[in-house]
Amino acid sequence: MSAPPLAPPPLPRARWSRLARKELRETLRDRRTLVTLVLMPLLVYPLLSITFNRFLTTMRPAGEAMWVIAVQPAEAVDVVQRLLERGDRLLTRRETATRGAVENVPKVSLDATADAYGSVKQSTATVGIEVIFPAGPRESATWRIIYRDGELASSEAMLFVERRLAAVNERSWRERLVRAGLPQRPLVVSERSVLARARPASLSLAMLVPLILILMTITGAVYPAIDLTAGERERGTLEMLIASPVPAHQLLLAKYVAVVTVAVLTALVNLAAMGVTLSLSGLGTALFGGSGPSPTGVALVVALTFLFAAFFSALLLAITSMARSFKEAQAYLIPVMLLAISPGMLTMMPQVQLNGWLAVVPLVNTALLAREALAGNADLFWVAVVVGTTVLYALCALAVAARIFGTDAVGTVSHAQWRDLWHRARRTHAAPTLSQGLTGLALAFLMHYLLGNLAIVAADRSLPRLLIANAVVTLLVFLGWPWWLSRQRRIILAPTFSLRAPRLFPLLGALLLGVTLWPWAYELFRLAESVGLSPVGQSTLRQIEQLVRGLRSVPPWLVFAALAVVPAVAEEWFFRGFVLAWLRVRTKPAWAILGSAAIFGLFHVFSPTMLAPERFLPTFLLGIVVGWICWRTGSLFPGMALHLGHNAILPWIALHQDRLDWLWGARVGDATPPIAATWLAIAALCNVIGIALVGWRARPTLPSHGDGERDST
């Protein structure tokens, strides 16, 4: 019996700092890093600027009126026409005198309107001019230019009008000064945006900025992340590092600092290059409106770049630590990079807003917040949510990387082949190995998606057939697949799937919990809804209502079997059996339960037909409870009982909601009604009894950390 390993003493800060500096020095000396850090930004932005300018030029249809200027009132059209032409002449003269070139003036058509503001807002006019004639001869006329802030054409048209009127104003002012006795400011010009503080309704090129920043940060982080992990492994220097008496996680932390630094430097160089290019090319005004991006917005984008780099670097290190060569790491990272770009693409969709669950989706939240910050719409609450969750994700990714980095399982070569899947293993296992678990999860996800869609097609809009088809898919994916994989790889069923006959009281306790836990999930949903974190859209609600209506015409036994029995048996078999055992031999029970619950939650988020992030939290919490019961009782069956009770009670309530008025408390307005306090108290009491019954005379005997390593022949 060996003693537990001694905890390594923490590395002195000065030494750790030297360690990080060495990693950074080595990375920055590499010419390939310098290419992505300096050369790329210097080349990319001027090229992008030229492309944008070209794009904007080609967008203008030749020969047609380019801008429609709505003039209010109608009798002002002639005055506006005259003044714009005069301003045009003045500007042309001035431009020719000073720069020798004339501005490329687009065609303009003036439309008389009774509501310039409305015309611009409804996009029937590019820009509007509202003229308020003076009450007396000695007063100035007021001209209000109305435009859509953030929209390129409208902003350009506003500048077009403003410059011409300013030229006229200036000329007139001079003339009047000469003559004296007249007002010194004949025209008062002010701007009014119909979209002030509102979100742009159309695509704006400013939305590209987060995407570009994401791309550039990734570009900066990818190379050092691969080089400092898989690259070192390939060159043989990683073994020397791991052979030193510095704990692997401290070595990793030094590498992390180096990767984050390079990523942030790359992003900052990119930001600077972008800023310089935009201001020199004049694109800045066109993209961000007359005043350009606000300093606060820019500062927030810089801070978000740090945040994004911190998370993404940790993610990259977790992935590249698994690779044994540069090439292998690149292969792993390609799908990750493609996935990482998609949040940037989302920012280009104006209808996608930073709220609800999107605020906690990694990368998506940072990209959307960057967009909001640039538009000057960042809300402090969402800033806090995004920062908090991203820091949490970064820490999780770093913890995973620290577990993988330098482990012996990675420092070696895999000889596993696809055909091994079809051959029965010779050696038995008390729990799934690392790769068996990953294979099980990956193929279960794939099959769940493909077969789930197939089931929908096969059901042909018939709800009973859909229920049967879904039940078959659930059985195949979550029961059949892990059973087959375990048989092939000789994973012993009894310890892996906790196939131990349950005791009566824990079984009853779990069932009681199953039917009495839902009020808390319901109240949690209400709470999330009240703080705007649970945006179950109207379409989802309609789908649920439609489903409930449909269920009334389905035999109750089928509803019970398809929605309660089958998921309870099959999902528990997979998530608390296969997945929990896989994690349990690798980490402490608490982490294994949390991990299996998270995977359980994620499988419910990615349903075959839609993305349902709002399902994560309730299923995650349910997964924790069921995981705890499985660990506590050493048996899969009480968890199945809980799952069965939970899945049976929910459709029952939905089908009988019209007869359950006594259950609800006072409804306030249109909000979802709360559960009556009495029933909440009863549910709490039942929960306590259930937990006590489950915990009573418990005998946890799940495979524990290290068991999977043992020979079990």
The answer to whether the peptide bond before residue 700 is cis (omega within 30 degrees of 0) is no
Residues linked to residue 190 through DSSP beta bridges, in sequence order: 144
Task: Please report which helix (H) or strand (E) contains residue 93, including its range.
Answer: helix 77-98
Q: Write out the binding residues for another protein, residues 255-284 only, by CB under 8 A.
A: none
Give 358's contacts (C-beta < 8 A, 6+ positions apart).
Answer: 352, 364, 365, 368, 613
Member of 240, 272, 450, 671 binding another protein (CB under 8 A): 240
Residue 331 interacts with another protein (CB under 8 A)?
A: no
Residue 29 interacts with another protein (CB under 8 A)?
A: yes
> Contact, 436 vs 283, CB < 8 A?
no
| CA R_g for the chain | 32
Choose one: 11-19, 52-60, 149-157, 159-167; the region binding another protein (CB under 8 A).
Answer: 11-19
> Contact, 554 vs 464, CB < 8 A?
yes
Residue 427 interacts with another protein (CB under 8 A)?
A: yes
Choose one: 260-268, 299-307, 427-435, 620-628; the region binding another protein (CB under 8 A).
Answer: 427-435
In a 13 Å sphere around the CA of 267, the CA atoms on its Cβ side amount to 30
Minimum Å gap between C-beta 227 and another protein is 10
Give 56's contacts (C-beta < 8 A, 6+ positions apart).
Answer: 152, 286
Q: How many residues appear in the chain?
A: 713
Binding mask 214-233 for another protein (x = CB under 8 A): ------------------x-
Member of 30, 115, 191, 523 binding another protein (CB under 8 A): 30
Minimum Å gap between C-beta 423 and another protein is 5
Minimum Å gap between C-beta 595 and another protein is 17
> Contact, 277 vs 220, CB < 8 A?
no
Minimum Å gap between C-beta 38 and another protein is 17
3-state secondary structure of 700: coil
Residue 56 interacts with another protein (CB under 8 A)?
A: no
In the numeric block, the tokens 């990368």 are attached to 363
Member of 75, 139, 239, 379 binding another protein (CB under 8 A): 239
Among the listed residues 238, 302, 292, the one whose alpha carbon sits nearest the alpha carbon of residue 267: 302
Rounded distance between C-alpha atoms, residue 13 and residue 18, angstroms: 9
Residue 59 interacts with another protein (CB under 8 A)?
A: no
Choose one: 21-29, 123-131, 533-541, 616-624; the region binding another protein (CB under 8 A).
Answer: 21-29
Residue environment code for 93-128, b if the CB has 16+ CB neighbours within 10 A, otherwise e: eeeeeeeeeeeeeeebebbebeebbbbbbeeebbbb
Between residues 119 and 433, which has the closer beta carbon with respect to another protein?
Answer: 433
Minimum Å gap between C-beta 420 and another protein is 4
Choose one: 23-31, 193-201, 474-482, 681-689; the region binding another protein (CB under 8 A).
Answer: 23-31
Residue 584 interacts with another protein (CB under 8 A)?
A: no
Residue 8 interacts with another protein (CB under 8 A)?
A: yes
Member of 229, 436, 457, 651 binding another protein (CB under 8 A): 436
Residue 244 interacts with another protein (CB under 8 A)?
A: yes
Minimum Å gap between C-beta 428 and another protein is 10
Between residues 426 and 461, which has the closer beta carbon with respect to another protein?
Answer: 426
Give 178's contacts (C-beta < 8 A, 6+ positions apart).
Answer: none
Q: Write out the binding residues for another protein, residues 691-710 only, by CB under 8 A.
A: 709
DSSP code for 475: I
Residue 18 interacts with another protein (CB under 8 A)?
A: yes
Q: Could you list the beta-strand ranges (E) of 61-205.
A: 67-72, 108-112, 127-132, 141-147, 187-193
Minimum Å gap between C-beta 354 and another protein is 40
Minimum Å gap between C-beta 248 and another protein is 10
Q: Roughly how many angstroms between the first and final C-alpha of the chain, as a whole number?
A: 21
Residue 13 interacts with another protein (CB under 8 A)?
A: no
Choose one: 430-438, 467-475, 523-531, 600-608; the region binding another protein (CB under 8 A).
Answer: 430-438
Give 265's contacts (C-beta < 8 A, 6+ positions apart).
Answer: 37, 220
Total residues binding another protein (CB under 8 A): 55
Choose one: 54-62, 351-359, 431-439, 613-621; the region binding another protein (CB under 8 A).
Answer: 431-439
CA distances from 712 to 37, 430, 431, 493, 495 (A): 52, 7, 10, 13, 11
Q: Write out the binding residues for another protein, residues 396-425 only, by CB under 8 A.
A: 408-409, 411-417, 419-421, 423-425
Binding mask 463-502 for another protein (x = CB under 8 A): --------------------------x-------------
Among the listed residues 481, 471, 466, the one whose alpha carbon sits nearest the alpha carbon of residue 565: 471
Residue 371 interacts with another protein (CB under 8 A)?
A: no
> Contact, 705 vs 419, CB < 8 A?
no
Between residues 236 and 295, which has the closer beta carbon with respect to another protein?
Answer: 236
Residue 246 interacts with another protein (CB under 8 A)?
A: yes
Residue 2 interacts with another protein (CB under 8 A)?
A: yes
Its sign, for the CA torsion 112, 114, 116, 121, is: negative
Between residues 63 and 245, which has the closer beta carbon with respect to another protein?
Answer: 245
Between residues 489 and 643, which has the closer beta carbon with respect to another protein?
Answer: 489
Rounded distance between C-alpha atoms, residue 417 and residue 473, angstroms: 27
Between residues 237 and 279, which has the closer beta carbon with respect to another protein?
Answer: 237
Between residues 420 and 529, which has the closer beta carbon with respect to another protein?
Answer: 420
Among the listed residues 578, 548, 335, the one whose alpha carbon sits nearest the alpha carbon of residue 441: 578
Interface residues toward another protein, by CB under 8 A: 2-6, 8-9, 15, 18-19, 22, 25-26, 29-30, 232, 235-247, 408-409, 411-417, 419-421, 423-427, 433-436, 439, 489, 709, 711, 713
